[in-house]
Chains A and B, each alone.
Chain A
Amino acid sequence: MKKNLYIYVLCTAVFCITTTSCDKIEVTEQLTPLTPANIDADAGTWKMAFMTAPDQVAVPAPTPVGSDAYKAELTAVKDAQSKLTKSQRDAIEYWSGGGVLRWNQFFRDLVSRYNLPPAPKADGSYPAPDAENPFGDPAFPFANPPYAARAYGYVSASLYDALKAAWHFKYLYNRPSAYNADSGVEALVPKTDLPGYPSEDAVMSGVSAEMLKFLFPAAVEDITLKAAEQRNAALWSGKATSSDIAAGLALGKSVAALFVARGRTDGMGAAGGNKTLWDGLKQNAESRGDEAWVSLETPPRPPMLPVFGKVTPWQMTPDQIVAIRPPAPPIRGSAEMDAEVQEVKYYADNLTRERLAIVHKWADGAGTYSPPGHWNDIAAEYVRDANFSEVRAARAFALLNMAEQNAAIACWDTKYFYFNARPCQLDPSIKTGTGVPNFPAYVSGHSTFSAAAAGVLSYLFPDGEAYFKDQATEASMSRMYGAIHYRKDCEAGVQLGYKVSDIMINNFAKVDGAD
């Protein structure tokens, strides 16, 4: 009897633990097939983010619906549909959730994978990631927050322009989707009246893959496989024929080439600076009477991308970046700064579990998708629930991520203009709830990113405004709770972030013709 009881207890316990640990944790976000509330037929007339016009890249006229060549393409679609495998059906289902959302998720994944600082060499120096040797040690890139912000900015802006160009040609030529051209073609995704030529899925695959290969060259295999799968899914699902796809791919790649050309000359290449420049930053800070920032890493690491503030912003000028630079922070030894340090010290010495959870929720440090990625994660749920067309979804991420890149530029401009010390540099007894970032304190990057994102998302999704702004405040304060930022850094960062989002909204979102 006793033995039976033990066996019972054992089995129950084994069952409980194995069932919880066997619950599969999903790698991909769960999306239902996209059924846009509005297909945004006029998107070809919306203002471009960077291209000069929707037809800056030419797309030749398609073969007519009645032509033999097109009929042969439709037959090929039907043939492919007649023998779909399980993995092909899975691919259709995966991409039916929305190409823009899927690519957004994929590049958050890439950022987290490449967000790893180089290891020091034996002599204590740090090698710089080299775009010409992306598979080396260190890998290229180190997708730190500014790099990530720029990556999100470029991919999202190029996707948006490419889709507007696609919409322009879709309605210029008006050739229907395969499933609307031939009743024998099965629609394995929700049907819409969006014309099929050029295929929007192929446009997305082309532009995203080319941009990502530029930004994350060592991930070429994953990128190209993903892109090819999206094109295949477009055909298998009955949306697109081979000429829809070929034209879309060509358009997407050509649009990417325009953005890559911009990326090669936007100042990123020089953002790392050099020894002379780093010494100059120190002298600047000291000439203001402040204590200059030093790296708290062992061995000391050069400051992260000190010239990133000079990278070309989106929808605003470099002069505007300088114009919104916050006023100087209090200097070391001033009564105001002493009080700031005291407050951080309080949070360091009183790191409650509740505050630590907030610190870690927003830490978004090495090995994560970074703060801009976190806001893309937040935005993705709203975009999904809004049932946007692909082009409107692309607009949401473009507005968000152009603002995030601008936030990174404005924040980095400020950080290196003042080059001030972190709290635990001024008071080494301050211990932190997360790693101390390897760049100056003022203003807080998280605060700037979060407010810029909350500002743009509040414009796009007014119902979420209170939530977004509340989250931005929490993200900002998390840096003080973690004892890596002064309150001043957080508050000035939030103000700067909202200035960045206001500019994006007023200069672009309100005038692009989409609202």
Chain B
Amino acid sequence: MCMVGLLTLISFNSSAQTTTDGLMMGKNLFCTGFMYTNDKWTDYWEGELKRENGNIGSITTQSLAYYGVYGITGKLNVIAMLPYVKTEASQGTLHSMEGVQDLTLAVKYNFLRLESEKLTFRAFGVLSFSTPLTDYTPDFLPLALGAHTTNLTPRINAMVKMNQGWFVNGSAGYTFRSNTELDRPSYYDGSNFYNSSEVDMPNVFDLFVSAGYQKESLQVELNYIQQNTLGGADIRRQDMPFVSNKMNAQRVGLLAMYYLPKPKNLAVRGSVHYTVNGRNVGQATTYLAGILYTFKFGKSE
């Protein structure tokens, strides 16, 4: 159900020059802007049972994220992102939630580059760190803004690109999640009852694959995203979702980014993703629209 929680982990694959792609900002270039995301689902998987629920109707999650990436060198970039999130149910009585969510900081390092006449192969190591900036509750799914965990994700990316612009890209990440804290003194997580407000959060593995075209001012790609929560219980029949549930999702998407001819250095970005299969998550359709501007500091490479 918690597409919000899931999105925080992987939101970067919808951003310009992300933690999962094979692209880099050049030295002293700073690309920054805002991304608006609209994520909506009606059906969800209660464990493996797909259903809808008249007590919530559709859940819409909107977010407006600040985004920035800076090229320390052509091989080393730092990335930052911070979203403001709002969730809402179309039916039932549950209150909407909104607020600043998790700050993500990442470093991306291009450690390998092989070139032939026709092809370039590049490999990257990425380390992302994210942490909540506000004390939003994780215990109000499906309307909670996120899991309220501090995460660390080591990641490996590889990209093969032909000189004409066609490319394939792959990325795999493993997210360590801290425990999260509830406002209540005990809970049942679907397997065990705990006399504690602290919840052990299973770690998450994700895989990202894309193929497309990128040359000069245009980038277009199709992509596939898979996320597996390595532990956690299913939502029981007719139960509410719980923050440590096993939330798995497989999503496909289309992404395009274009640097406008004028004004120079201004780019627009859009994407759409659809959840084809999942477990304990909503079958979401997610639209993203962003606007980004690239500044140059000092001498670029």
A interface, CB within 8 angstroms of B:
6, 9-10, 13-14, 17-18, 20-21, 23-29, 105, 108-109, 112-113, 116-119, 137, 296-299, 348, 351, 353, 356-358, 360-364, 366-369, 374, 377, 424, 430-433, 435-436, 483
A-B contact pairs, 27 of them (CB 8 A): A14-B154, A18-B176, A20-B150, A20-B178, A21-B201, A23-B179, A25-B196, A25-B200, A27-B194, A28-B195, A116-B237, A118-B238, A296-B93, A297-B55, A298-B92, A348-B95, A356-B140, A361-B184, A362-B184, A366-B239, A367-B240, A368-B186, A374-B185, A377-B195, A433-B95, A435-B93, A435-B94
Q: Which residues of A contact B196 (CB under 8 A)?
A: 25-26
**Chain B residue at minimum C-beta to C-beta distance from A137:** B237
Prevailing SS type, chain B contact patch: loop
Shortest distance from the beta carbon of A38 to any chain B beta carbon, whole Å: 27
- B59 in the interface, Cβ–Cβ < 8 Å? no
Q: Which residues of A contact B238 (CB under 8 A)?
A: 116-119
User: With contacts A25-B194, A27-B195, A353-B136 known, what are 20 further pairs, Cβ within 8 A?
Assistant: A6-B127, A14-B152, A20-B178, A24-B200, A105-B195, A296-B92, A298-B53, A353-B135, A357-B137, A364-B184, A367-B187, A367-B188, A367-B236, A367-B239, A367-B242, A368-B184, A368-B188, A377-B186, A377-B195, A431-B94
Residue in A13, A23, A108, A353 whose beta carbon sits within 8 Å of that of B193 in the complex: A108
Cβ of A360 and Cβ of B182 under 8 Å apart?
yes
B interface, CB within 8 angstroms of A:
53-55, 91-96, 107, 109, 127, 129, 135-137, 139-140, 150-152, 154, 176-179, 182-188, 192-196, 198-201, 203, 236-240, 242
Cβ of B187 and Cβ of A351 under 8 Å apart?
no
Q: Which residues of A contact B176 (CB under 8 A)?
A: 14, 17-18, 21
In whole angstroms, how far apart are the Cα atoms of A28 and B196 in the complex?
Answer: 10
Shortest distance from the beta carbon of B185 to any chain A beta carbon, whole Å: 6
In whole angstroms, how far apart are the Cα atoms of A353 and B109 in the complex?
Answer: 39
Cβ of B137 and Cβ of A356 under 8 Å apart?
yes
Cβ of A6 and Cβ of B109 under 8 Å apart?
yes
- For the complex of A and B, the 10 pairs showing the least CB-CB separation, nearest first, are A298-B54, A119-B238, A360-B183, A109-B193, A431-B95, A112-B188, A357-B183, A17-B176, A432-B93, A17-B152
Q: Which residues of B contact A6 (CB under 8 A)?
A: 107, 109, 127
In whole angstroms, how far apart are the Cα atoms of A104 and B193 in the complex?
Answer: 13
Residue in A17, A24, A113, A436 whose beta carbon sits within 8 Å of that of B150 in the complex: A17
**Chain B residue at minimum C-beta to C-beta distance from A298:** B54
Cβ of A368 and Cβ of B187 under 8 Å apart?
yes
Cβ of B137 and Cβ of A430 under 8 Å apart?
no
In whole angstroms, how far apart are the Cα atoms of A108 and B107 in the complex?
Answer: 47
Interface centre among B95, B152, B177, by most chain A C-beta atoms within 10 angstroms, is: B95
Shortest distance from the beta carbon of A32 to any chain B beta carbon, whole Å: 16
In whole angstroms, how far apart are the Cα atoms of A509 and B233 in the complex?
Answer: 43
Cβ of B186 and Cβ of A360 under 8 Å apart?
no
In whole angstroms, how far apart are the Cα atoms of A374 and B195 in the complex?
Answer: 10
Cβ of A361 and Cβ of B183 under 8 Å apart?
yes
**Chain B residue at minimum C-beta to C-beta distance from A9:** B127
Cβ of A432 and Cβ of B95 under 8 Å apart?
yes
Q: Which residues of B contact A27 (CB under 8 A)?
A: 192-195
